[in-house]
Amino acid sequence: MRLALLTACLLPFFASASAFTFTNQYLIPANQTISDEQWVVSTVAQPEGIFLNDLSIICANPLQLNGTYAGNINGIAGMETVLSGIAKRNARITGKVIRIEGIVEGNLLLLADTVTINQEAVIGGNVRILADKVISEGTIGGDLHVTAGSLLNLDGTIAGTTHLQAREILTEETLRIGGDFTYRSDNLLLLDPAQVEGSIQLIESNPTQAPLSPARLKSRGLWLFAAFLAGAAYLLLFPSQAAHATHFVFTAPLKSSLIGFLASGALPILGVFCLTSFVGLPTGLLMLGLWGAWVYLSQIVTACLIGLLLLRLTGAPTGRLLLASAIGLLLLALIGLIPALELPVQAISLWLGMGAILQAIFLNRSESVATAQRLNTAQLQTMDTN
Residue 2: predicted pLDDT:
39
Residue 237: predicted pLDDT:
83
Residue 366: predicted pLDDT:
45
Residue 275: predicted pLDDT:
63
Instruction: List, in sequence order, every residue forming a beta bridge with 171; answer none if it has no partner.
Output: 154
Helices 339-361 and 281-314: crossing angle, nearest 10°?
Answer: 110
Neighbours of 260 (CB within 10 A): 29
Residue 295: name the closest of 267, 323, 269 by CA: 267
Identify the helix (H) or strand (E) that includes residue 91.
strand 91-100
Q: Are 311 and 317 in contact (CB under 8 A)?
A: yes
Q: Are 63 and 80 in contact (CB under 8 A)?
A: yes
Q: Are 299 and 308 in contact (CB under 8 A)?
A: no
Residue 111 to residues 220, 284, 286, 378: CA-CA distances in angstroms? 26, 19, 21, 51
Mean pLDDT of successive 10-residue stretches along the chain, which has 386 residues: 38 45 87 89 89 89 92 88 95 92 95 94 96 95 94 94 93 93 87 89 66 69 78 82 83 87 80 61 74 82 84 68 82 78 83 87 55 47 40
Identify the helix (H) or strand (E) that includes residue 86.
strand 86-87
Instruction: List, in sequence order, every residue forming a beta bridge with 69; answer none if it has no partner.
Output: 51, 87
Residue 103: predicted pLDDT:
96
Residue 158: predicted pLDDT:
96
Q: Are 217 and 238 in contact (CB under 8 A)?
A: no
Residue 1: predicted pLDDT:
38
**Distance between CA atoms of 1 and 65, rounded to whole angstroms?**
44
The dihedral sign for the CA sequence 49, 53, 59, 61: positive
Residue 81: predicted pLDDT:
93
Residue 235: predicted pLDDT:
82
Domain ranges in the chain are 11-202, 214-375
Residue 301 to residues 29, 121, 231, 309: CA-CA distances in angstroms? 51, 48, 8, 13
Residue 287: predicted pLDDT:
77
CB contact set of 225 (below 8 Å; sequence gap of 6+):
none
Q: Are 281 and 23 in contact (CB under 8 A)?
A: no
Instruction: List, in sequence order, every residue forming a beta bridge with 91; answer none if it has no partner.
Output: 73, 108
